[in-house]
Amino acid sequence: MKWISIALLVMGLAACSGGDAGGPGGKSGAAATVCDAFVKNKLDGKQYKLDLNVLAASLKADTQGGGVLTAPIIIEPGLTTEVKQTISCEVRFGAGDKPEAMTVNFIW
């Protein structure tokens, strides 16, 4: 009986955690995901590390209904060609707060 209670407690906690395995949510999460896709395309197949939670948390809204997100990025992590930079991603929000990445700048 004790094990059943523990199993039910664990299942309940797992259900409360959400379905996105720790990924960002909401408007800022959607913007971070769009910026990540833009970066992936711009880096043309190179490996990189970018924390989407940090990127989403950095959203700063502007007066035109868009925003800017910034976060550190490591390009080609673990290789001799590894580069640490910061990205700045400018987004705008359309109907239903759907984000679109306008530009991504890599800052040394």
pTM of the model: 0.74
Residue 103 lies in a domain: yes
**How big, in percent rounded to 5, are the helix, strand and coil portions of the chain?**
40, 30, 30
Q: Is residue 43 part of a domain?
A: yes
Domain-located, residue 3: no
Total number of domains constituting the chain? 1
The residue segments making up the domain with residue 66 are: 23-107
Per-residue pLDDT of the chain (108 residues; tens, 9 = 90+): 443 444 334 444 333 433 444 567 789 999 999 999 999 999 998 999 999 999 999 999 888 888 999 999 999 999 999 999 999 999 999 888 889 999 999 998
Q: Which among 97, 84, 94, 76 has a CA at the least distance from the CA of 26?
A: 97
- Domain membership of residue 36 (yes or no) is yes
Residue 60 domain-assigned (yes or no):
yes
**What DSSP character marks residue 46?**
-
Task: Write down the pLDDT at residue 97.
Answer: 80
* Residue 13 is assigned to a structural domain of this protein: no
